[in-house]
Amino acid sequence: MITHVFKLISLSVMVVAACEGSGVQRADTVGNENVADTIGNPVETKAPNSSYKPAFAGQTRVAGVKTKTPYEAVILTRDLQKPWGIAQLPDGRLLITQKTGTLRIAGKDGSLSEPITGLPAVNANGQGGLLGITLDPSFRSNRMVYWVFSENVDGGTVTAVAKGKLSADEKTIENARVIYRAFPAHKGTLHYGGRILFDKSGYLVVSTGERSDIVTRPLAQHLDAALGKILRITTEGKPAPGNPFANKAGALPEIYSYGHRNVQGLAWHPETGELWETEFGPRGGDEVNRIQAGKNYGWPAITYGIEYAGGKVGPGATQQKGMEQPVYYWDPVVSPSGITFYRGNAIPEWKNNLFVAALNTPHIARLVIKNNKVVGEERLLVEEKQRFRDIICGADGALYAVTDAGRLYRIAKKN
């Protein structure tokens, strides 16, 4: 039996030329050795929290794979303050949200702008704050930006969506206003969801959480509540035309899918155009789902996780008629946050792979997907010991990822 060895190694420190006053003096580089692509044992070696069995082969703990193309991960900056979401500007720079309520622009050399102000106040307690961000498809001409944040309202806090114009001098957001609030409000600071994307029709797709508490969990199954949902709205915050529950009495017409726990990952598949998501389970049961309009994804009626204190969630069911199975799940959890599909050409074996920013057992997960099933899994940048919060595939074909500790990484083929 031939054993293929792969490891992440620290390479020599490289000096990066930076703009005067940027504060960027150097970037550390890590990478992989040029080894053969292999398929081996699952990357997860810890015992699962539950004795639940998957619904089909390959739903969890698939074979491990290893990247054969040499790549490197360069730390562009360590100076972000609790970054959460990333959007790429047309010139290749990155617009990054900071959880406490400001935006920063990161240059290609890692230099950071001063905090961009003008956004509505956020409640940054717990899991709240300034969250996901996206640019208008016509940003070059209108400079409009859309973001998600946790907002104080009567009765508690809500997941809110806002819009505004990035000023010409890039110092502020002009005419910022809230266009949507996910009610009901709740006096808690957990499970806001928070990702936001544009679809091909120019409508916004937004994820919300069910706010975690036992009293709010059931609302993920209720079509008259915006919690635990994926929503589809216009740029004015109205229900987008063609939504699946537009003509259903008592249902919120902005709902696109339901039965979600806490969705922090949204991405469009580059070839099929389908929406994929990741969401947190409790102890075990983190999920990857392929989202279809009007479908019920099960929480809290079915799950592959258990309560944090032990014991079953509700009836302890993992399958139920009329509820969708996850394409993939993890037990124990990896705590999946932002996700992206690789669209570059530099590393062919990554083409259309799903990359997941993982907070627990900190790493970036690479999932190889064939025919809507996960057939291989790899863990990248494990030795960095960073809680990865968001990841995008840039126009240059590189992956860009931020961590809770304030790092920004560029991951690309090694020259």
260 is catalytic: no
Distance, in Å, from the CA atom of 312 to the CA atom of 211, rounded to the nearest integer, reads 19
Minimal CA–CA distance to 399: which of 74, 51, 16, 5? 74
- Produce one character per residue of 79-116: b if its CB has 16 or more CB atoms within 10 Å, e if not: bbebbbbbbbbeeeebbbbbbebbbbbbbeebbbbeeb
CA dihedral 316, 320, 322, 327 (to 10 degrees): 80
Burial class (CB in 10 A: 0-12, 13-18, 19+), 413: middle
What the block records as the tokens of 25 is: 């003096």
- Which residues fall within 8 angstroms of residue 88, CB to CB, at 6 or more apart? 94, 95, 135, 392, 394, 395, 400
Closest CA to 210 of 85, 303, 92: 303
CA distance 157 to 187: 6
Which of these is catalytic: 186, 191, 222, 363? 191
Collapsing DSSP to helix, strand or coil, 31 comes out as strand
Can you say whether the dihedral through the CA atoms of 308, 359, 112, 342 is positive or negative? negative
Q: How far apart are CA 11 and CA 31, in angstroms?
A: 7
- Numbers of helices and strands, H then E, in the chain: 1, 29
| Residues involved in catalysis | 191
